[in-house]
Amino acid sequence: MTVKIPTTTIGATLIRSFKCSFFPSDSRTTRNSSSKRRKSFRTVRMGSFSSNLSKPESSSAESVGDTTDNTDYSSFTNAEWKKKLTKEQFYITRQKGTERAFTGEHWNTKTPGIYHCVCCDSSLFHSSTKFDSGTGWPSYYKPIDDNVRTKLDMSIIFMPRKEVVCAACDAHLGHVFDDGPQPTGKRFCINSGSLELKPHQQQQ
């Protein structure tokens, strides 16, 4: 549930700043990138956003490459995850870290395909739902099926947020906000380091 702050001049400025970042709590705090942020949403895939909405997504296309299995990822130790992941991937997905804005591999990627979890390979987001939020992180207006879930993040006491995690392995992906485009109005603000893009041609 989003906390509403009175829309005074100062309050409006603060909440805009808060909602455009992940609020990392350590020394890797996101740099001020407001000068780079654009005011309008633009789709990053072929055609306009309206053309994306005019063509319903194929459920079969979204399921391509979904390799979710019955592995019990809850039993994985940190040592096992460190062997499987890079240092950056481990920091983001297992320690709830945040990459700096405009530095991740996929923040501006336009390649058609499916974004998978780097930890368990579950399919998470289709490129057709990716849009340019101007925040410097990959942004999507909806996930694939129920392959992600959300939970309350109270790491910032005065600004409760919804953390986004992989439903299969509980990897931290990012956060979701209610300022995205239609048809969902959601902005799934995701770390590139938690994702692996598999282009369509590799899945055929």
For residue range 113-150, list pLDDT tens digits in order: 999 999 999 999 999 999 999 999 999 999 999 999 99
**In the prediction, which pLDDT does 169 show?**
97
Q: From 3.40.630.10, 3.40.50.1820, 3.40.640.10, 2.170.150.20, which CATH number describes the 44-52+59-203 domain? A: 2.170.150.20
**In the prediction, which pLDDT does 194 show?**
98
Tokens of 176: 């979701």
**From the candidates 20, 120, 169, 189, which is the catalytic residue?**
189
- Give CA–CA dist 116/48, Å, rounded: 24
**In the prediction, which pLDDT does 149 show?**
97
Tokens of 153: 């993040």
Decide if 20 is catalytic: no
- Cα-to-chain-centroid distance, residue 109: 13
**In the prediction, which pLDDT does 57 show?**
40
Q: Within the chain, which residues score under 50 in pLDDT?
A: 1-67
Cα distances from 138 to residues 25, 72, 99, 162, in angstroms, run 20, 28, 11, 16
**In the prediction, which pLDDT does 69 show?**
64
